[in-house]
Structure 1
């Protein structure tokens, strides 16, 4: 049977794979995009029903297409976001093959390139872009055993309050997902506990501008990637309910019981670290730092933006923050469900290359792997702070595609090195 061949194989048909396809096409590089499910599948089925984008439509998009029919300042729904990606892929004629899973990719010694085994057959390619991103496999820490009799799900599988068994809910993780889910459950009348770890907490908007604008004019989107292993910073921000600053004091005063970082479980009791007040204080400091930088920018540039002193008003401490809980007896508190908003792990076991560190994370420079002809896209802090965002991955994809184009141009050279005398001699 004839094996199909292409220059570059892109693995993953989400925002990273679509961006890669656009730039590869612009560089006239033959390629195929393989997606094991459907285009934008994570946005279609891997999010809760009420999720909206965390950035406004004018900002969180690819440069070459607007969210037609949506207000520029709207935080679009997950379904609208998925449709945007589908429409964009169609616009650029991305060669996406849905329902094709990559099983293994191995280098072909002495021949060059890779042999890729897929659920639909084999493909030979010169280069591989792993565009599966960072959010591949939900992680639930092994803290509460199954025999505890508590329903446990990852936030990836949470859909809505009605999905859960009657009773109180423990949400572990106060990044954007955990905080928004806790807020939604509390609004639905559930008794909610929220485990709050270290986090950044930017203002949703300030002085009439969204925080994404502030990060832009302050140059913070282009912050260089930190040292390996320190890239992940939990950020609690929300576009829900029209976009409100995520304030844990407000949530606490509205009924959410705040706790510190979840530490362990024994004899029906979930225990917490004594770091709640410190974590909230550090989040407050991050919030105030952004306000201070914004005020300094206004002072420096003279831009006419209204003052907003009320943004610095601090809500009173709720009881759960003033006197933090050290633990809760799940049965006594009526907790029937734990939602783990505890992140994801990467999985590149299909790529049989020495391209990873001891943690299994890609070793790369702006997406260019240490392994020849291997590239990565969609990683947090791949090149800058904005790499995880739609527009950020688009710019990262351009860089990767340009590096591939450079290699292609060298590969087309058919001359040979020779001593050539100057014409002037």
Structure 2
């Protein structure tokens, strides 16, 4: 399925409609969830290092605020568009609801390939984008965070730009910041750690031995690399990993610390150039179809679709990325008996610890990493086992169960607040 035939927002709406139907909701009960509360498209003029002026397109979509301020990352990607950002914003609304933290959903993006920009060009792009969305963000309004191709350093630039224009330091305007300027200990590892915790939980309820579990990870960005590392530390065998350049595989298991050290050694290092005894270089499509116990898609959306779902050999999929599985693929996977831990729970560790960071910022307190990780585990464990029990009771897939819980919570909040005026 190519980009022209896959619309992530329509995919989200289909899952939402199914959950609403199962909940017995009338259209009027949930119709507001089908439409973002605000969609902003901005033009971002940037003077390049050679003196040329370029204009980039940026987005910020605020999906729903019934349960609290908007929350959601900002991604820099050449294929970013409004429908993608709308879908991601909606998924954030449901992600916050399934783990029961007091946020609504939002998302931002810039259509740009950041690898083709210098560091100074990225700074100017980020700061100008911040000025464009500044009227609708703030610590009590909409709190951005890192996403694909953005990181703590980028969040620092956003925080500084916002603070300079407000005339005082406002650390709570973004999360995922460096520790030195108000970031939370454990935040950079939180999404990947959450993927690992959910992986351990699904193995537990299925009666599987962690020590004999084989894992394949698509995407070695922040989420995938941390998930691979922590799963390996837990005793799982990582058979394959990939990045944008392709994948590597070893039936005896990969040396994840060595691979991560190679990728971090210098900018531009990719897996296609990595060499080690006993590894085989494969494509991303081949990686997804490897025989394994656990498949963790941690790259972009629509990676498992109607064209390749029949070939998936994993028995369990834990969605590290947002929207990696199309609705058509879901039906195929279900018929094959493959268990899918859905994205809105599987990768919710990041937003949970973002919430912790925001709480620390607005209260001017500091938590230890041990406390952060313990709280993260408690929230994720509660959400996972509540979901598992509901899915067993209703005899529905975990994704359907997750949406039953999340949609019910958002609809209840909206009903209690009512429609103004």
- Please state which band the TM-score falls in when normalised by the shorter chain: under 0.3
Higher helix share: 2
Q: Which structure's CA Rg is the greater one?
A: 1
Q: TM-score, structure 2 length as denominator? A: 0.26
Q: TM-score, structure 1 length as denominator? A: 0.26
